[in-house]
């Protein structure tokens, strides 16, 4: 069984923007939510570009420091980076590792703090 299609589906269905980068800071994948969220900056055209070019120098420097921290230990896998008051969310950087624990990339994780407004199990049948 090929698990990669399941993992891709999980990322693609996520309502939060997911931008995956390799260790060269190249954007290698954006889920549909990310493409929509970052449309005014290029959307899908950002794939293949450097994530560092999308940030100010201070943020780019912090991204580099976090990646170095990820590389120091297999236990360094997630770090809180900011809270966005306007969107009521916390933002984290998360390490991506291969089956042996080697660092292969990273992504940014958004956790929204707003309570869900949909009704439970509200089917539109």
Distance CA 123, CA 53 (A): 42
- pLDDT-derived band at 1, boundaries 50, 70, 90: low
pLDDT tops 70 at residue 22: yes
**pTM given for the model:** 0.89
- pLDDT-derived band at 54, boundaries 50, 70, 90: very high
Distance CA 73, CA 68 (A): 9
Q: Class assignment of domain 4-112?
A: alpha beta
Compare 3 and 9 and report the one with higher pLDDT.
9
- pLDDT-derived band at 123, boundaries 50, 70, 90: confident
pLDDT tops 70 at residue 121: yes
- pLDDT-derived band at 49, boundaries 50, 70, 90: very high
**57-108 tens-digit pLDDT:** 999 999 999 999 999 999 999 999 999 999 999 999 999 999 999 999 999 9
């Amino acid at each position: 069984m090929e698990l990669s299609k399941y993992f891709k589906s999980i990322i693609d269905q996520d309502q939060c923007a997911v931008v995956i980068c390799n260790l060269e800071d190249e954007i290698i994948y954006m889920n549909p939510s990310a493409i929509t969220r970052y449309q005014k900056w290029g959307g899908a055209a950002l794939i293949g570009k450097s994530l560092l070019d999308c940030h100010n120098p201070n943020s780019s420097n912090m991204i580099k420091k976090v990646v170095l921290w990820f590389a120091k230990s297999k236990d360094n896998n997630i770090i809180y980076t900011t809270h966005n008051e306007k969107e009521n969310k916390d933002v984290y950087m998360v390490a991506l590792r291969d089956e042996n624990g080697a660092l292969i990339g990273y992504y940014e994780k958004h956790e929204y703090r707003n309570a869900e407004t949909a009704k439970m199990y509200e089917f539109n049948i």
